[in-house]
Amino acid sequence: MCAHVIIAEDDEKQAELLYRYLEREGHRVTAVADGLAALEAVRQGEPDLLVLDVMMPRADGLDVVRVLRAEQRELPVLMLTARSTEDDLLIGLDLGADDYVTKPYSPRELMARVRTLLRRTRRPVSEAPDEDVLRVGSLVVDTARHTVSVDGRTVDCTPGEFRVLGALAAAPDRVFSRQQLLAELHGFDRYISVRTVDMHVMNLRKKIEPAPRRPARLLTVFGVGYKLTDPQKDAGRALS
């Protein structure tokens, strides 16, 4: 799977190491050394993945992710960070990063993360289109076009939010545990907390629920996890 990958890393030795590993796997690689250069490279190069260091000159990695998501770019982002506290890492995920690796890291582990992100965000064109559209009442998730709409209104989701919503929409009314949704996000990753799932659910409710504090679609099943349901169908059952 050949992809265009941008590396944004101001440590020259780290950038060179990543460049070599990515090229060895057949990818086309662009390397930049600061946040503003990363934004420019993304805007001009239409990459498939951004490998982004958090601590960089001119604009840090968190600012880069914030700008990219504000521009509604669905580019997957893998963050490199020396920050190891859970709260710092969750900030990046909340802004729209898809995964992260903490420094010091194994290049082989990072390449495995790269392969996972590319598999999940690049789909074969031969897949049947009918299988790509998931409908739960007025909520529509198009996994091929990576779009979401509710009541005819387009909803912008980060890649992480999209994967959580897609998993739930593929099996309406099924209850997913946080660990199951976490596996949809990052595989069985020892570095990510289930709080990540809760944060994605909270953000999704703000986008798809008329009253996020009183959700009707994305429901909590206490002690178990979450499920996605059609509120109109449930209302019809209550009246019958």
Regions of the chain short of the pLDDT cut 50: 123-129, 188-190, 236-240
Q: How far apart are CA 61 and CA 80, in angstroms?
A: 9
pLDDT for the residue 107: 83
pLDDT for the residue 210: 92
Give start and end residues of each alpha helix (H) in the chain. Answer: 12-24, 35-45, 61-70, 86-95, 107-121, 159-169, 178-186, 195-208, 231-239
Domain boundaries, the chain: 4-121, 129-239
Residue 140 forms beta bridges with which residues?
Answer: 135, 149
Helix and strand tally (H, E) in the chain?
A: 9, 12
pLDDT for the residue 99: 82
Q: Which CATH superfamily is domain 4-121 in?
A: Response regulator (3.40.50.2300)
Closest C-alpha to 47, from 61, 22, 28 = 28
Q: How far apart are CA 77 and CA 90, in angstroms?
A: 14
pLDDT for the residue 240: 40
pLDDT for the residue 130: 52
pLDDT tens digits, one per residue of 24-43: 888 889 999 999 999 999 99
Distances (CA, A) of 20 to 8, 26, 90, 105, 171: 14, 10, 29, 16, 41
pLDDT for the residue 87: 63
Provide the residue count of the chain.
Answer: 240
Architecture of domain 129-239: Orthogonal Bundle (1.10)
Closest C-alpha to 179, from 228, 220, 222, 225 = 225
